[in-house]
Homo-oligomer: A and B are copies of this chain.
Amino acid sequence: MQSLITAPAMMQELHSNLRSTTLRFRAGQLIFDEGQKATRWYEVIQGTVRTCRFHMDGHRHLTGFFFSGDVFGADHGTYGTAAEAVTDVVVRCYRVGDITDDSTPKPQLDEAVSILFRAMSTAQRYLFIMGHRTASERLAAFLLCLKQQANDDPNIFVPMSRSDIADFLGLTVHTVSRTFTDLARRGLIEINGRDSVIITDNAGLCRLAGEYQDSMTPDVDTDIHPAADLCLGELSAA
């Protein structure tokens, strides 16, 4: 569920060496705006943050959700997205020299590059979802990401609004809402209010999302590439 842009875990190794400021934002508040000079990066201490872009046609596109421990805003030059508080949040804010700064130690630079490549790979997997998956498949993948984010607890806390989910998955609020009730009707989940979902059929949800449990092989008989894979779970990989 982390950003498709950057989640440089490598920077976490520098925590002890960096001066940080703790900030609080109320739900809905802007943390930084798209296009601003990217002089700081942030770590979520408590709450949930979203990154988003607005497009000419008025559509909003959410590019990631960030939870406790996640890093966001580590962009290059200017911020490629805005960041907003989904809930009341507490974040730690670090000034950074540019990643390509001479003072950056070599191994961490290596890891940064590696992470960027992984982020690209994640983005491409996500591209596939947006291009080829239906609403219920996208929502299933999304819920599994939330579950993984919460240590695989099937009792999921959903801090973001239906509208946020819609703008993240490329759907409308209506479709998201309908799909929630549809998944519930099919016995895959149970809905407890607007911010709580229980996964009652994990295997079924995985099947929907395009993941296959255990060593189950996909039921295709054509000449599939051996390396073929689509691990939606990695959407939330750091």
The interface of chain A, by Cβ under 8 A from chain B, is 4-6, 33-35, 53-59, 61, 63, 75-77, 80-82, 99-100, 102, 106, 109-110, 112-114, 116-117, 119-121, 123-124, 126-128, 130-132, 169-170, 210, 212, 218, 220, 222, 224-225, 227-230
Known: A58-B222, A58-B224. A132 touches B170 (CB 8 A): yes
Measured in the bound complex, the distance between the Cα atoms of B15 and A39 in whole Å is 34
| Contact (Cβ within 8 A) A58 B130 | no
**How many copies are assembled?**
2
Q: Are A5 and B113 in contact (CB under 8 A)?
A: no
Distance between A175 CB and nearest chain B CB, rounded to angstroms: 12
Residues of chain B lying within 8 A (CB to CB) of residue A57: 132, 210, 218, 220, 230
9 contacts between A and B (CB under 8 A): A5-B124, A53-B124, A54-B227, A55-B229, A56-B210, A61-B127, A63-B124, A100-B106, A131-B169
CB-based contact A170/B131 at 8 Å: yes
Please indicate the chain B residues that have their CB under 8 angstroms from the CB of A82 in the complex.
225, 227
Contact of A116 among B80, B113, B128 (CB under 8 A): B113
Identify the closest chain B residue to A5 (Cβ).
B120
A56/B230 in contact, CB under 8 A: yes
A131 partner residues in chain B, CB cutoff 8 A: 61, 130, 169-170
Q: Is the CB of B128 within 8 A of A126?
A: no
Q: Which residues of B lie under 8 Å from residue A81 when comparing CB positions?
A: 124
Q: Provided the pairs A120-B80, A127-B123, A130-B130 are in contact, do residues A55 and B230 lie with their beta carbons within 8 angstroms?
A: yes
A179 and B210 CA atoms in complex are apart in Å by 29
Pick the most buried of A63, A123, A126, A212: most chain B CB atoms within 10 A of its CB. Answer: A123
Task: Name which of A113, A218, A220 has the most chain B CB atoms within 10 A of its CB.
Answer: A113
Query: Chain B residue with minimal CB distance to A34?
Result: B227
Contact across chains for A127 and B128 when beta carbons are under 8 A apart:
no
B4 touches A58 (CB 8 A): no
- Shortest Cβ distance from A16 into chain B, in angstroms? 24
**Shortest beta-carbon distance from A210 to chain B in Å:** 6
Contacts of A114 in B (CB 8 A): 76-77, 100
